Amino acid sequence: MKQIIFLSLLAILFLSGCSLSPKPNNESNPLKNGIVNNLNKTYSSKKYGLEVTYPNDWSIDSETPGWIVVKPNAQIDPNSNPDDGTIVITTFQKSQKTVEQYMSELNSSTGTKNNDVYKFIGKVNVGDKNIEGILTQGGCCGLFGKHIFVSENGRIFQITLRGTAESSEFQNESVFNEIVKNIRFVE
């Protein structure tokens, strides 16, 4: 009798680990459970004071002074703006300002305070050192979307996931979150 109960339990344990439906093949999809699993390329710049790790199938454009654009090599949605879902990292010249001081200043392009242009959403941890930054949404001058502002090594950094100012969902948000989590600030 004990042997039958033991074999029955063993069979149940074995069968509970089996599935009749095929498991999805995630090898061709770089996103698994919302986590980017292929951040294997690195862009490093002492001039801009940072190191960015990004997906294999993305590229870096650093042609515009002060901007580092991290973008997918292929546009995901051909009906969307090609800039949506790209990530722009802007570095400001050396400054001893805090993010709060920067946000309370007048935006030279709009004439209003930065904290009116960029609506506060919450505080976030940025980079390998978990530096506190602020998450905002909005923007101006063609740089709309979700923004993180952080101060490190005497610089203000703005990390933007481009989209519309009113978006509630953004393309490539998982990649953005992983880049923000893994960015390194260097001197």
**pLDDT per residue over 59-86, tens digit each?**
999 888 888 999 998 766 677 777 889 9
**pLDDT per residue over 23-64, tens digit each?**
333 333 333 334 555 778 999 999 889 999 999 999 999 888
CA distance 143 to 87: 10
95 domain-assigned = yes
| Residues of the domain holding 156 | 40-185
The count of domains in the chain is: 1
CA distance 180 to 130: 10
CATH number reported for the structural domain that contains residue 85 in this entry: 3.40.1000.10
177 domain-assigned = yes
114 domain-assigned = yes
Q: Cβ atoms within 10 A of the Cβ of 17, count?
A: 6
pTM comes to 0.76
Parallel, antiparallel or unpaired: strands 67-72 and 87-91: antiparallel
The Cα-based distances of 21 to 14, 18, 46, 61, 122 in angstroms read 16, 9, 51, 43, 41
**Which pLDDT value is given to residue 181?**
94
